[in-house]
Chain A
Amino acid sequence: MSRKITIPVILLAALALPFMTANTYFHHLMVLWMLFSLLALSLNVIIGYIGELSFGHAAFFGIGAYTAAILGMHFGLAGIPGILLAAIVAGLFGFVIGYVSLRIVGPQFAILTLGFGSIIYTITNYWVDLTRGPMGISNIQPLGLWGGDGIALTSAIGYYYVILGCVVAFAYACHALMSSRTGRAFIATRENAPLAASLGIDVFRMKLLGFVVATAVAGVGGALYAHYLTVVTPDVMSMQYVAALIIMVIVGGRGTISGPIIGALIYVALLEALRALGPLRLVIFAALLTASVIFLPGGIVSLWRRITGADTPHQEGAQ
């Protein structure tokens, strides 16, 4: 099967998906899937492309959500300008935080992002005048074109298509990145920073670029989330979301485009399917999660590679 066939087929399937069922609850799940796909893809830029771990990604998601909520609340900007502003604000935070912390790599970087994330979380909780504190902001307007112009998106299907559009656009951008000189510089930086530098790659700038893009896209995700759920609380910045996103990226397959999307699907679908199990739900989920990690360390996408026989040589047998 060549790309030329599979990609249009998958796109058509994604477009047709909502018509498979009239059940609006499934539509809701599809929206969540797309939303998480967008977020996981953005985190994948950090984890998969620049090779660092960020524990602060949910904070940027939250910043986007709050920006959209506050703009909507105070200025009636509930449309495209609001989303763009959410991206800009989240990206600006990403720039400042990235600028400060990307000089440091590895676990130390992860903890720096955790620190920044927690500070943002704490401020969100305490700056009641702006954010309404722990109770969050509810009754956020639904998404419109420019906001306040009467066109408002209320159905889950509508959101599904809007977010699907974002996911497709961003996935394509990631694909283009990987087939460009800039993308090669990303990968070189991830694989061996000193060597990359000796080849003329400005390692810091590459990382910063990746980080800002990732945080801005997370901001878009946050804004869409806020409009769709109409509520945002500081909880969206909690470690729970960070962990969920990391799970999606790695279980799906980091550094790939289909991986995070599949990871998001599995996350949403599995938790839903296990709902019937009651208290056992999360135990089974955790067991499946660890089993998948242990048996498919390269993520679900590596299964595909295994089946099709595209072998990656890989040390084995030593003690």
Chain B
Amino acid sequence: MDYVVFAQQLTNGLVNGMTYVLIATGLTLVFGVLHIINFAHGEFYMLGAFFTYFAAKLLGLDYISAAVVATLGVAVLGIFANRLFFWPLRKEHEFTVLLSSLGLALLLTNGGELIFGADPKYVPSPFADSVFEVGQLIVTQQRVLIFVVGALVLFGLNLFIRHSRMGKMMRATAQNPEGAALSGVNIRQVYTVTFVLACGLAALAGALVGPTAMIFPTVGSWAVLKGFIVVILGGLGSIPGALIGGLTLGVVESLAGGYISLGFAQAIGYAIIIVVLLWRPQGLFGTARRT
């Protein structure tokens, strides 16, 4: 019996971890490529969930189509967010950019509250309540979906960054924007693509994770904090890092919650991150910063 509980907790942890991973990847991209701490990332996650909800409700789409529409819609919003809030500040101090993103986050949360209403909503998904049973293990199909889509997206994104030309341009911009511009990289395009990808990923996370809980305009602030922790744990700008970091955090929280104390689970998660960072400041998969 204990054995089953352990396996169930582990599974819970892995799935929760994958939701963190989905949130963290977009964040790590923006962080890694443009050196921007984007506080508004969680708000794009929130928008992803809300767009899915409204696409299903107002356009009458089924869950999958609604999720796709929402992801694309928010990705397009990424273009505007970049244009208005980040691109103009690209030469300013990182703290200034951070504040701009904080402003955007406040704007989206409070604007969301105004437009979407403060009442919590539920994103209906046909997979939410149906379960997979493997022996005594029980997982909802929605969670399986999160895990599978998460893994696929990560894999694809990693290939993209490592091997595509755009991916290389993004990495070059990350390391030396001026050098990149002089090699012929269109920096503006890199900014745009990075934000489109990041916002799209955040929205996808929102669309996928939405049906596992209720959504409301302030969900983003939770998401962004988790995302940051995962990004730092895994290593700035590292996609495999986001994967391992997210899964680790998910499993640690779930086991700590299951076997030590639920209330302290988060704090234990933080404690582990502190220990990891002290041992490897650059995170699990990060490269050391040269001075």
Direct contact between A and B judged by beta carbons closer than 8 A: yes
> Residues of A with Cβ closer than 8 Å to B?
47, 53, 100-101, 103-108, 110-112, 114-116, 118-119, 122-123, 125-126, 193-194, 239, 243, 246-247, 250-251, 254, 279-280, 282-283, 285-287, 289-290, 293-294, 297-298, 315, 318-319
The answer to whether A107 touches B232 (Cβ under 8 A) is yes
Known: A115-B229, A315-B91. Contact between A289 and B103, CB under 8 A? yes
Chain A minimum-CB-distance residue to B263? A126
By DSSP majority rule, is chain B's interface helix, strand, loop, or mixed? helix
Interface residues of B in 246-276 (CB under 8 A from A): 263-264, 266-267, 270-271, 273-274
Chain B residue at minimum C-beta to C-beta distance from A194: B291
Q: Tell whether, in the assembled complex, residue A118 and residue B267 are in contact, meaning their CB atoms are under 8 Å apart.
A: yes
Question: A292 — nearest CB in chain B belongs to which residue?
Answer: B103
- The distance in angstroms between the C-alpha atoms of A95 and B74, with both chains bound, is 43
Q: Are B228 and A294 in contact (CB under 8 A)?
A: no
Quick check: is B174 within 8 A (CB to CB) of the other chain? no
Give the contacts of B176-218 with A (CB-CB under 8 A).
Answer: 178, 181, 187-188
B272-288 vs A, CB cutoff 8 Å, 1 = contact: the mask equals 01100110011100000
With contact pairs A108-B283, A116-B274 given, residues A250 and B267 touching in the complex (Cβ less than 8 Å): no
Residues on B with C-beta less than 8 A from A250 are: 95-96, 98-99
Write out the residue numbers on chain A whose beta carbons fall within 8 Å of the beta carbon of B145: none
A111 touches B228 (CB 8 A): yes
Q: B90-125 CB contact bits vs A (8 Å, 1 = yes)?
A: 011101101110111011011101100000000000
The distance in angstroms between the C-alpha atoms of A280 and B113, with both chains bound, is 10
Among B89, B228, B263, which residue has its beta carbon within 8 angstroms of that of A297?
B89
- B289 to nearest A CB, angstroms? 7
List the 3 closest pairs (A to B, CB-CB), nearest first.
A290-B103, A286-B106, A115-B270
Q: Would you call A100 and B278 a contact (CB within 8 A)?
A: yes
Q: Give the one of A126, A246, A294 with max B CB within 10 A.
A: A294
Contacts of B221 in A (CB 8 A): 239
Interfacial residues, chain B to chain A (CB-CB below 8 A): 31, 37, 84-85, 88-89, 91-93, 95-96, 98-100, 102-104, 106-107, 109-111, 113-114, 178, 181, 187-188, 221, 225, 228-229, 232, 236, 263-264, 266-267, 270-271, 273-274, 277-278, 281-283, 289, 291
**Known contacts A103-B281, A106-B289, A315-B91; A111 and B96 CB within 8 A of each other:** no
6 pairs from A and B in contact (CB 8 Å cutoff): A53-B98, A114-B225, A114-B270, A122-B264, A194-B291, A239-B225
- A107 & B264 in contact (Cβ 8 Å cutoff): no
Cβ contact within 8 Å between B103 and A293: yes
Given A104-B277, A250-B96: A119 in contact with B267 (beta carbons within 8 A):
yes
User: Which of B95, B102, B267 has the most chain A CB atoms inside 10 A of its CB?
Assistant: B95
19 extra A-B contacts, CB within 8 A, seeds A280-B114, A319-B188 = A47-B95, A53-B95, A100-B278, A101-B278, A106-B289, A107-B228, A108-B232, A116-B270, A116-B274, A122-B264, A125-B263, A126-B264, A283-B107, A283-B110, A285-B106, A287-B107, A293-B96, A298-B96, A315-B91
Which chain A residue shows the least CB distance to B37?
A107
Asked if A283 and B102 make an inter-chain contact with CB atoms under 8 angstroms apart, the answer reads no
Whose C-beta in chain A lies nearest to the C-beta of B105? A286
Q: List, in ascending order, chain B residues with CB within 8 A of A116's CB.
A: 270, 274
What residues of A have a CB within 8 angstroms of the CB of B88 in the complex? 294
Residues in B with CB closer than 8 Å to A118 are 266-267, 270
Nearest-Cβ distance from residue A272 to partner chain B, whole angstroms: 17
Q: Contact check, B99 vs A246: say whether CB atoms are below 8 A apart.
A: yes
